[in-house]
Amino acid sequence: MNYIKQFFYFLNLILFLFYLYPGSILGYIFYGNFKTQPQITGDFVVSSNHVYVFFILSIIGFYVFKHKLKNIIIYLISISIILEFLHLIIPQRTFEIADLFGNIIGVLISFLVFKIIYKGRLQ
């Protein structure tokens, strides 16, 4: 369990780095261009990339902190909002409401999945 907790913290560090860097690190790695953002799947009403990222981060966070669900939900929702709003002041980044909702939906979907999987197991 300790390794999973360390992995969760590592993912948080990577998320902050990618979110706060002025440009797209993945765009540079894949395309040699900081202005190009790789897209896993097409966007719908919300940004699918953001849903995927926050789903993965959240499901690991819920597993690691399953006995502190209230705290981890507050943390995940807070960083999903704060990180997106920081794009208002970071050069070459833009705030997008679809990204914000993608972040929040990723957290909520992972919470539902977690609750279904662990239904009755948590006391």
Cβ 95 vs Cβ 85: under 8 Å: yes
Closest C-alpha among 101, 83, 104 to residue 93: 83
Least confident of 22-26, 74-78, 100-104: 22-26
pTM over 0.75: yes
- Residue the block writes with tokens 């239904």: 119
Q: pLDDT band for position 30 (50/70/90)?
A: confident
Q: pLDDT band for position 29 (50/70/90)?
A: confident
- Does residue 35 belong to any structural domain of this protein? yes
- Does residue 15 belong to any structural domain of this protein? yes
Distance CA 60, CA 15 (A): 14
Distance CA 85, CA 100 (A): 8
- Does residue 43 belong to any structural domain of this protein? yes
Q: Which domain holds residue 111?
A: 2-117
- Does residue 106 belong to any structural domain of this protein? yes
pLDDT of residue 51: 93
Distance CA 84, CA 11 (A): 17
Distance CA 108, CA 110 (A): 5
Residue with the bigger pLDDT between 18 and 62: it is 62
pLDDT of residue 22: 81
pLDDT of residue 122: 56
pLDDT of residue 55: 97
- Does residue 7 belong to any structural domain of this protein? yes
- Does residue 19 belong to any structural domain of this protein? yes
> CB count, 10 Å around CB of 7?
12
- Does residue 123 belong to any structural domain of this protein? no
> Which amino acid is located at 57 in the chain?
L
- Does residue 8 belong to any structural domain of this protein? yes
What tens digit of pLDDT does each residue of 41-96 get? 666 778 888 999 999 999 999 999 999 999 999 999 999 999 999 999 998 888 99
What's the total number of domains in the chain?
1
